[in-house]
Structure 1
Amino acid sequence: MGEPELPAAGRPQPRRAAADEGRQGGRLRRAARRSAMPLLAAATGALPVLVFPTVGWWWFAYVCLVPLLLVLRAAPTGRRAAKLGWYGGIGFLIGVMSWLIPTLSVFIVILAALLGLFWGPWGWLVWRTLHGRPDAWRALAAVVLVPSGWMVIETIRSWQYLGGPWGLLGASQYQQHPALVLASVGGVWLDSLFIVAVNTAVVVLIGTWGRSFVAYGTLAALVAVTAAVCAWAPQPRLTGATTSIGVVQPGGSANEADRTARGEKLTLGLAPLRPDLVVWGESSLDYDLTTNPGLTGQLAVVSRQVGADLLVNVDAARPGTGPDGGGIYKSSVLVGPNGLTGQRYDKIRLVPFGEYIPLRPVLGWIADFSKAAGVDRRRGKAPVVMTVPEPGGRTLRIGPLICFESAFPDMSRELVRLGAQVVVVQSSTSTFQDTAAPEQHASLAALRAAESGRSVVQATLTGVSVAYGPTGHRIGRMLGTDDRGTTVYTVPLATGTTLYVRWGNWVPTLCCLLVALTALCWSLLAWKRRRDTAATA
């Protein structure tokens, strides 16, 4: 006897079941893609870490943003692209600031998440100009606006209270002559703008299957303009005179007296070389010299025996009350054969969450989980140019910077405008000794030299100590993090001013104005479309 026939509603529906399974599988795949895209954006955002020391793939800078740009342009909506831009920014910051991980541990993720918000609008901008297959006008807008938008990010996060200009893309080119010439024209900012423009043009080529004349034209124009600038840009004029600066790198020590004794012994070893100036690293002394005549007398004796002034660095409490006294300062102090010369520079730009904690009454607990200073350092008021006597009755004018300050292009520029013939950086990266920080920090001196048209000498406690000439090319041997000892750099003196010294931060200023004007125009167009739609409804 056969089975009863099922009604139509109860019969198996293999096609419908397969379709349901297909739709469910599609939803699962889309969900998997949605969850994977943030990780992909963060991973591609971190790729620029490869262009900085210690990896140092400088050439990779010109395509390092291409994967992230492709992720952003493939987003389904502008809002989604903004979110992916935020993830890309997190990856970028964790990558270039990875040397902070041993100090901040998990808090680096929180810091990156906050600063990474600046990449959100940039992600939308990338999608707006590059999604789909951009026509000629959109392609042209992309190669102008995407690099300008990146410059807005670099400008905002370079504010000293947000951490300062570390990891600027242009800084990766510190060994390339064309990039150093560009820096003399527009600072490290012009190098960053050039790099992002090349990355954007490559993405336009990919998005148009290699048929975009705008992208080809942009790449050709970038090369041609760079060549023209390198041939035309005025460079500092070497006077033929030189000065010799001895650098003392004693190595780290928890015992201040031992560190001072080693510094004195190493300095005395420079006596046969007769340098014009001897420079010690940051925080080389833990005592205020105005209240410690014994230590000041020791240094004066060393100065007499070597035949040169000593530029030491003091990290100590200073007596006094009121706005000009009291508290702990980091100071460059010049000591001569007769003791203190009266020339001192107090550090102006302090490291947030390092040398001070913003809103300490609220955020002071961070000191318990990091190596932030237990007591906030006080800020200096103005840059200082010091006068150092040289043989034959001549004088040398030096502009001191302290560690973190060498990351700021405007600080060395201001010292040159005040008459500095040589910029001297006193640094200590001993906290980050086994990370990429010492080499990355030392590389910044090359950019500062090229921008300012003056030699830059960096002296550190534990490395890297280095010197660069007025065009940004390295002079003499570098003292690495494994070195302990001294070296003397004979650096050339130059006159004249670079275009960057004359014009300042014109590149980020123009980029910010361009992005702001574009945002205003787009907002007005969107408002007009909404008004017209409402009028016709």
Structure 2
Amino acid sequence: MPAAILASALMSALYARGGAGWLLGFVLLVPCLRALDASPTVTRALLRGWAMAIGYTAGAFAWFGIAFGHYTQIGGAAGLAILLLAAPLFQPQFLSFAVVRHLTRQRYGAAPGALAGAAAWVATEWLLPKFLGDTLGYGLYPSVALRQGAAVVGTAGLTLLLLLANEGVAAALAPAWRAAGPRAIARPLAMAALAPLLLAGYGQFTLSASPAPQGKPLRMGMIQSNIIDYERQRQEKGTAAFVREVLDTHYAMSYDAVERQHVDAVVWSETVYPTTFGHPKSAAGAELDREIVGIVNAAGVPFVFGTYDRDRAGEYNAAAFVQPGAGLLGFYRKTRLFPLTEYVPAWLDGPQLRRLLPWTGNWQPGNGARVLPLRLADGREIPVQPLICFDDMDTNLAIDGVRLGAQAILTMSNDSWFTADPLGARLHQSAAAFRSIETRLPQFRVTSNGYSGVIDATGAILAGTRMGEQTLVVGALPVQTPAPTLIVRWGDWVGRVAAAALVLLAVVAAFPAWRSAHTGEEATAAPAISLAAALPARVAVLSPATRLLAGLLRAGARGGLLWMCLVLLLNEALRTNTLAQIRLFSMLFLLPEAAAWCVLTACSAQAMVVNGKLALTRGGRRRELALSEVAEVQLWRLPFPGPGLSLRLNTGRRWRYGLALTNADARAAARAATAAQLAQSAKSAQAAEPSVRGVPQVYAQTSLAIGRSRLDHPLLKHILLPFALALPAFHLYQHIAYGSAFGEYYSFGLKAYLSAFALWWAAWAIGVVLTQTLLRMAISMATLLVALLRPARAIAMRRWLERAGHVALYLGMPGWLLLTIYRA
């Protein structure tokens, strides 16, 4: 166990330092996972989770303990010791991860344990915001392609994928898998490789498909003065002299930015103006306020700088926006204050704590995201979102800003307490860059002494500084309203989904009817199938190559629907362009689906059992197979391109051709099976389906066990339902656009009126198909989860989910339409 903790701690240290170390993110927890696998009790697992938290904290965050010790003047060693003692509070996700993973593995097996543990990790970070706001996914920043996944799943989703990759590698190293041979080891390794491959594929697509930025760029000048340790310098130089030095330094560097670099606006760092601006506490403070306003007026460009604001509730760490000719435009008040340094929770605060920790602050938190305008000299008005220091660790703040209309992020920070260990400042900048990736907003980031930078929408730092240098950073980035990413639309959805999955798991475990007698629970054995009873009148006779072709076409069609759902979520212009939707729907779904149908139709044959032979007739060709050669008749475990039958011969090999069935035929084949009749001889044309082992087989069995509902009839689902939805929407459109129900008919004739209605019907038909696709995906995922945890309950759950899907489709869509009309 100590060796495992040490190995993971060393890899964590390298991972946190960036560079090529990001590759270690996929294996850094493997030694600890192998140690957790050997935990005999939940108590032992909890203790090992505690040790994991200490090792990870020591490896990745030792710099924070040292910086904390220097800031509080207790010494770096003492600060590090306190950090390690508080590691379970600093990284609580290790405890929940270890406990949930252990309990789930004990009851359900290794794969459910890995999923539940990863969900517990992410859900804990979502429910209990961490001291530094860190998460494992931040370490992927050095990979340009992989970090783009944050736009879809956020940093929490990156963490989840990293955990699953670690689980796959750990499973491959388990003795049971190693003993099974190289082919068995390849399975968990393939699952481990799936996470980076998915992220890399999405990242490359995003980077290659990103349109060229348009519009005039915003050119900003950022002042990194390298003036730090305000309190010490006040004591040494006197308050007046020191404030004079700070302001004169910033005036001089701002002059250079405006006169020589021709910037559109100037940004100073956090708390650079060390008193309240706009609410002076003295006559001297009022004079300094007027001086700054005079400098801004002379420069002719807006200034944004860190200062303080105050009201009856107290003081705030704030950013002031000062406009030439108009003075103070407004403040943003820092929302996420750093605990125990900038504020103390009310339940913990008191005179005794203040005496014990004299360096604790008493600032008030702001009330959330705010977007303020930069009114430039050329007449443009750019809405920007300011973030101050710890604010840039909060995904939701950045999301709220882009929802309020921000076109750029201005980040101000005072990273001077990282001076002794620049790693903390560099990690802070990497985390801030993820806010640009998630929102696709450019970011201008200025700090007191490093690292300042110009960050584009992909998270790339186009211009930056080193730690501890006094410099002017000038950068220009295009600004526009970006297309909303999935994380902007749904928020930090991965954490919510993980928490919901854990609640579902707890409910499943709580009900006795769902409990299994042992962890190796299997679904009941599939009954024997009579070949004569199983075969319908017509089948599609598919060679391996033909089956692969039809399967790929059909999988492409289904994947096209999911892709179109994603595109419609992210592309607002497409949602209002019916003709573009029709073209995309035809290209992504109708064409590959029609091609698959043509392949299956071309391979269609008449099937019958005559004189002890299976006869397949297609046109003038006839193919026969003696039943005496057939040892088993098996339903396809993977319905690709759909349900079907395979024939296993007495030689042990499968017959070359597979027999594709319709869904109805496959269900009839399943119902034709009888549990008591096992294959005794080939002459009886009976064969037994092997016991269903594993999730895919259980899932396939649930699909065949559910009868076809009348609500699934294509005429009702794809013709009448879209018609019923299009009719009121089209009627309302006619009233709005033309003044009456038949306004377009009166104005342009019957052809135009019917063509317009046809477009509305087509749009709703596409909407119904896409909604059905999302419902089908949700039903499939829920069924897979139940098949994984409770195979015996999978059919009952699938039946309930199918009914819920019908309710969502036939009542949910009309309800949504009515609600939309009512709101309008």
TM-score normalised by L of structure 2: 0.54
Question: 2:37 pairs with 73, 81, 97, which one?
Answer: 73
> 2: distance between equivalents of 1:415 and 1:75?
46
Alignment correspondent of 2:390: 404
Question: 2:156 pairs with 178, 189, 208, which one?
Answer: 189
Alignment correspondent of 2:144: 177
CA distance 1:464–1:223, shift in 2 (3 Å): closer
> 2: distance between equivalents of 1:199 and 1:274?
50
Question: 2:484 pairs with 489, 497, 501, which one?
Answer: 497
Cα deviation digits, residues 236-292 of structure 1 (max 9, x gap): 772243111110011124233322221111111112211111110011011212123
Partner AA of 1:343 in structure 2: G
Question: 2:251 pairs with 264, 268, 279, which one?
Answer: 264
Please state how far the C-alpha of 1:56 moved relative to its aligned partner: 6.5
Alignment correspondent of 1:310: 303
Please state how far the C-alpha of 1:183 moved relative to its aligned partner: 0.6
Alignment correspondent of 1:101: 65
The answer to whether the Cα contact below 8 Å between 1:235 and 1:453 also exists between their aligned partners in 2 is: no
Report matched runs for 1:131-280 at 5 Å. 138-157=109-128, 159=129, 162-166=130-134, 168-207=135-174, 208-209=177-178, 211-212=184-185, 214-230=187-203, 238-253=213-228, 254=230, 255-270=242-257, 271-280=259-268
> 1: distance between equivalents of 2:93 and 2:431?
24
The answer to whether the Cα contact below 8 Å between 1:74 and 1:127 also exists between their aligned partners in 2 is: no
Alignment correspondent of 1:24: none
Question: 2:407 pairs with 410, 421, 427, which one?
Answer: 421
Question: 1:301 pairs with 286, 294, 299, which one?
Answer: 294
> 2: distance between equivalents of 1:398 and 1:245?
12
CA distance 1:443–1:529, shift in 2 (3 Å): closer
CA distance 1:222–1:116, shift in 2 (3 Å): closer
> 2: distance between equivalents of 1:216 and 1:39?
23
Cα deviation digits, residues 46-82 of structure 1 (max 9, x gap): 7423212367611111111111111211223232011
Partner AA of 2:288 in structure 1: L
Structure 1 residue 481 corresponds to structure 2 residue 443: no
The answer to whether the Cα contact below 8 Å between 2:218 and 2:477 also exists between their aligned partners in 1 is: yes
Cα RMSD, aligned residues only: 2.8
Please state how far the C-alpha of 1:417 moved relative to its aligned partner: 0.6
Judge which range, 360-369 or 108-117, deviates more.
Answer: 360-369
CA distance 1:502–1:237, shift in 2 (3 Å): farther
CA distance 1:503–1:389, shift in 2 (3 Å): same
Cα deviation digits, residues 9-39 of structure 1 (max 9, x gap): xxxxxxxxxxxxxxxxxxxxxxxxxxxx468
Cα deviation digits, residues 441-478 of structure 1 (max 9, x gap): 111122111100100111011111012111212212x1
Report matched runs for 1:338-349 at 5 Å. 338=325, 340-349=327-336
Alignment correspondent of 1:127: 102
CA distance 1:438–1:371, shift in 2 (3 Å): farther
Please state how far the C-alpha of 1:305 moved relative to its aligned partner: 3.7
Structure 1 residue 112 corresponds to structure 2 residue 87: yes
Alignment correspondent of 1:467: 454
The answer to whether the Cα contact below 8 Å between 1:445 and 1:457 also exists between their aligned partners in 2 is: no
Judge which range, 187-196 or 105-114, deviates more.
Answer: 105-114
> 2: distance between equivalents of 1:354 and 1:94?
22
Partner AA of 1:218 in structure 2: M
The answer to whether the Cα contact below 8 Å between 2:442 and 2:455 also exists between their aligned partners in 1 is: yes
The answer to whether the Cα contact below 8 Å between 1:38 and 1:84 also exists between their aligned partners in 2 is: no
The answer to whether the Cα contact below 8 Å between 1:281 and 1:312 also exists between their aligned partners in 2 is: yes
The answer to whether the Cα contact below 8 Å between 2:446 and 2:453 also exists between their aligned partners in 1 is: yes
CA distance 1:265–1:181, shift in 2 (3 Å): same
CA distance 1:115–1:528, shift in 2 (3 Å): same
> 1: distance between equivalents of 2:186 and 2:406?
47
SS of 1:163's partner is: coil
Cα deviation digits, residues 166-189 of structure 1 (max 9, x gap): 2x1111111322223201111111
> 2: distance between equivalents of 1:379 and 1:445?
20
Where relative contact order (Cα < 8 A, 6+ residues apart) is larger, the structure is 1
SS of 1:243's partner is: strand
Question: 1:52 pairs with 6, 12, 16, which one?
Answer: 16
The answer to whether the Cα contact below 8 Å between 2:18 and 2:142 also exists between their aligned partners in 1 is: no
CA distance 1:77–1:361, shift in 2 (3 Å): closer
SS of 1:238's partner is: coil
CA distance 1:362–1:344, shift in 2 (3 Å): closer
> 2: distance between equivalents of 1:509 and 1:451?
17
> 1: distance between equivalents of 2:516 and 2:152?
42
The answer to whether the Cα contact below 8 Å between 1:451 and 1:501 also exists between their aligned partners in 2 is: yes
- Structure 1 residue ranges without an equivalent (≥5): 1-36, 531-537
The answer to whether the Cα contact below 8 Å between 1:296 and 1:339 also exists between their aligned partners in 2 is: no
Question: 2:444 pairs with 450, 457, 475, which one?
Answer: 457
> 2: distance between equivalents of 1:342 and 1:393?
16
Report matched runs for 1:86-97 at 5 Å. 86-97=50-61
Please state how far the C-alpha of 1:118 moved relative to its aligned partner: 4.1
Judge which range, 364-373 or 57-66, deviates more.
Answer: 364-373
Please state how far the C-alpha of 1:369 moved relative to its aligned partner: 6.4
Cα deviation digits, residues 132-179 of structure 1 (max 9, x gap): xx9xx834324422322221232234x2xx52412x111111132222
Q: State which structure, 1 or 2, has the greater radius of gyration over its C-alpha atoms.
A: 2
Partner AA of 2:170 in structure 1: V
CA distance 1:442–1:223, shift in 2 (3 Å): closer
SS of 2:475's partner is: strand
The answer to whether the Cα contact below 8 Å between 2:301 and 2:377 also exists between their aligned partners in 1 is: no
SS of 2:366's partner is: coil
> 1: distance between equivalents of 2:193 and 2:11?
25
Percent identity (aligned): 22
Please state how far the C-alpha of 1:383 moved relative to its aligned partner: 1.7
Partner AA of 2:304 in structure 1: L
SS of 2:173's partner is: helix
Structure 1 residue 393 corresponds to structure 2 residue 379: yes
> 2: distance between equivalents of 1:60 and 1:439?
18
The answer to whether the Cα contact below 8 Å between 2:224 and 2:449 also exists between their aligned partners in 1 is: yes
The answer to whether the Cα contact below 8 Å between 1:425 and 1:459 also exists between their aligned partners in 2 is: yes
Please state how far the C-alpha of 1:368 moved relative to its aligned partner: 5.8
> 2: distance between equivalents of 1:298 and 1:488?
24
CA distance 1:405–1:46, shift in 2 (3 Å): farther
Alignment correspondent of 2:498: 511
Please state how far the C-alpha of 1:361 moved relative to its aligned partner: 5.7
The answer to whether the Cα contact below 8 Å between 2:508 and 2:514 also exists between their aligned partners in 1 is: no
The answer to whether the Cα contact below 8 Å between 1:56 and 1:172 also exists between their aligned partners in 2 is: no
> 2: distance between equivalents of 1:483 and 1:61?
32
Judge which range, 513-522 or 349-358, deviates more.
Answer: 513-522
SS of 1:384's partner is: coil
Judge which range, 332-341 or 390-399, deviates more.
Answer: 332-341
> 2: distance between equivalents of 1:70 and 1:366?
42
Alignment correspondent of 1:350: 337
> 2: distance between equivalents of 1:416 and 1:236?
19
How many residues matched? 478
The answer to whether the Cα contact below 8 Å between 2:12 and 2:60 also exists between their aligned partners in 1 is: yes
TM-score normalised by L of structure 1: 0.81
